[in-house]
Amino acid sequence: MPRVLVLGTIHASGLARLRERPELEIIVLEERDEAGIDAALPTADAVLVRTAPLPAARLARAPRLRVIAKHGVGVDNIDLAEASRRRIPVAITANANATAVAEFAFAQMLNLAKELRALDEAVRAGDWAARHRLAALELAQKTLLVIGFGRIGSRLARRAIAFEMKVLAFDPFIPAETIRAAGCAPVEDLDVALGEADVVSLHCPLTDKTRGLLNAARLARLKPTAILINTARGGIVEETALAEALRARRLAAAALDVFACEPLPASHPLLGVPGLVLSPHMAGITQESAQRMALEAAANLLAGLDGRLDPALVVNPEVLA
């Protein structure tokens, strides 16, 4: 009987899809149950994973593993090189949460531009005079720099254009003609574009090339009135440098949904920093997207076991050859 491991909580519809196959044994484990995961891997034929780490050492414990189905699109928690060496396809839910993340990033742009949290706190504190001190911004006619113009970045761009924003897009993997056709201006020099942007939103994967992409030097290129949004991956922004920039008022505000270490440690330098809004890596989680991700991940896992995976949904499609 093939054994399927589900690492983390997923929407009930995804589990129901898996349980439609009576020949499968389904085992659901909490993401932090490291001992339980390690004990179950040696007999696992397939894994559906959210954010639990699957490094090479852990994959080595799973000699029967035939497919990894990611609940989402980021695969930085999976040793892709090792999976590819073992010829284990890693499938993603390519479009399931793109709208959710784009909407969340845009909501944070509005939140920070309009200073909504500060206004709420002022009213609750009886500080009606805050209306004379706080100065909200209009997004219309402002410049948005989208770093990463894939499924999410392009959706964010459409929403920004609807708000009459000018959109710059930096993505070395997307043709300039595609970016122009979307009503945006392609960017070749990221450093120059950072100095032009009123809002910067990150939508690129975490790779060796993007780790530390926004370091202290690049953060210093931003306008002191600029807003930074990161709903992509922790590690793309140097967090200590960001905290220093916000404290020194060299940057107006930022919103982070992702962090280099999750959950965020109580001693983290970002905590207590002014002008910063934090959320627990949930930009892509809505009632609708949670169901879509669970169903698509379950479908990918079953397709992997059946040998009928769509190469377009596999991040290492060469293993299917």
- The residues assigned a catalytic role are 233, 262, 281
Asked if 240 and 267 count as a contact pair (C-beta separation under 8 A), the reply is no
Asked if 293 and 97 count as a contact pair (C-beta separation under 8 A), the reply is yes
Number of neighbouring beta carbons within 10 Å of residue 206: 20
- Amino acid at the residue 137: L
Tokens describing residue 258: 């992702």
Asked if 96 and 293 count as a contact pair (C-beta separation under 8 A), the reply is yes
d(CA 9, CA 13): 12
Asked if 4 and 18 count as a contact pair (C-beta separation under 8 A), the reply is yes
